[in-house]
Amino acid sequence: MTIKRIGVGPRSSRAVVHNSTAYLCGQVGTRGADITTQTRECLEKIDQLLAEVGSDKSKLLQVEIWLSDMKDFAAMNEVYDAWIDPAAPAARACGEAKLASSELLVEFIVTAAV
């Protein structure tokens, strides 16, 4: 069994690959930025990490999205809908949660095939 860890830190890895599946850590944007900016930044980070593990958004398996307030659901979806590959959308869940900082509005957690 081979496990590849990318960007290992004291608490987590930025990504872990096991059995041709990549698990990305939660991605957040710039604290204090608006929901559109934070969402765009999260998705850019996801693209970068997927490329680093040898994958891309057409291979997404699952996306979990946490919003600090569901009032931002439509604005987040506007950015997400423009980013997602319409031919290969992932299984997706979106909920409201208290995030690590009150300035964080959204967090994405992604699993993808490699």
Going along the chain from its start, the domains and CATH numbers come out as: 3-113 (3.30.1330.40)
Checking if the pLDDT of 10 tops 90, the result is yes
Residue 49 pLDDT class (50, 70, 90 cuts)? very high
pLDDT digits (tens, 9 = 90+) for 55-72: 999 999 999 999 999 999
**pLDDT confidence of residue 98:** 96
pLDDT digits (tens, 9 = 90+) for 23-38: 999 999 999 999 999 9
Checking if the pLDDT of 1 tops 90, the result is no
Supply the DSSP string of the chain, one letter for each residue. Answer: --EEEEEE-SS-EEEEEETTEEEEPPEE--TTS-HHHHHHHHHHHHHHHHHHHT--GGGEEEEEEEES-GGGHHHHHHHHHHHS-TTSPPEEEEEE---SSTT--EEEEEEEE-
pLDDT digits (tens, 9 = 90+) for 83-110: 999 999 999 999 999 999 999 999 999 9
For residue 90, give the amino acid letter.
A
Q: What is the mean pLDDT of the chain?
A: 97
Strand partners, 66: 95, 107
Asked if residue 104 lies in contact with residue 31, where contact means CB atoms within 8 angstroms, the answer is yes
Instruction: Return the ∠ at Cα 24 (arms to 9 and 58), rounded to 5°.
Output: 150
